Amino acid sequence: GQQLNQSPQSMFIQEGEDVSMNCTSSSIFNTWLWYKQDPGEGPVLLIALYKAGELTSNGRLTAQFGITRKDSFLNISASIPSDVGIYFCAGQKGSQGNLIFGKGTKLSVKP
Amino acid sequence: DADVTQTPRNRITKTGKRIMLECSQTKGHDRMYWYRQDPGLGLRLIYYSFDVKDINKGEISDGYSVSRQAQAKFSLSLESAIPNQTALYFCATSDFHGTSFPGELFFGEGSRLTVL
């Protein structure tokens, strides 16, 4: 099946550091989304991107839809302990296509 | 109360047993999904339904079946469980006609299944 390559697989950082993760694909997507899964819970949408080149922020989070439509990145600035969790990128083709998820980036934050 | 509720939250069973995981939602969404999460493999789609009587296979449907009993209920069955079906299972909903972000899925809290 189609795959999204998400990296890094895991990160161990100190509180206050900035974090960057990205997703790449060999296919073009019309929508990129970033989800976060807190320990013991289901994923929750953080940011949705609908236009190539779009840069969107949500508090300390910033995400971009790559100009080629084949990639996206997520940055977290000044990390805090509650940023711990697994971050998933997801791509969607068209308005009705099912989401294709990346394998996730597991973030650990040391206080 | 959660908008998307999964039962049971945890289940341990033996190889060959029949298992049903249930999902109910109070969001009024038309679309429902079952995903499987394995460490390092992300979320993979098992089955999805766009409405009652509409059932579609996802990426990894072999060994699973589903039933959409009503708009609010979508159950996943393992007819004869095997150890490699040990995983965390998520139900999700989406609202194509509503006000949520296009592509946004609303997940339940997950059902952890262990097959011995």
CA–CA separation, B98 and B95 (whole Å): 5
B104–A45 C-beta distance less than 8 A? yes
pLDDT in tens, B57-102: 999 999 999 999 899 999 999 999 999 999 999 999 998 766 677 7
What is the layout of strands, in order, in the sheet containing B19-25? B4-7, B19-25, B73-78, B65-70
Interface probe, candidates A10, A87, A95, A98, chain B, greatest B C-beta count within 10 A? A98
pLDDT in tens, A28-85: 999 999 999 999 999 999 999 999 999 999 999 999 999 999 999 999 999 999 999 9
Average pLDDT over chain B, rounded to whole? 93
- Amino acid present at A14: Q
CA–CA separation, B20 and B35 (whole Å): 14
Tokens 């791509």 found at: A91
A94 falls in which pLDDT band (50, 70, 90)? confident
Asked if the model's pLDDT at residue A90 lies above 80, the reply is: yes
- A9 at the B interface (CB within 8 A)? yes
Instruction: Give A85 to chain B, closest Cα distance, Å.
Output: 13
Report the residue count for chain B. 116
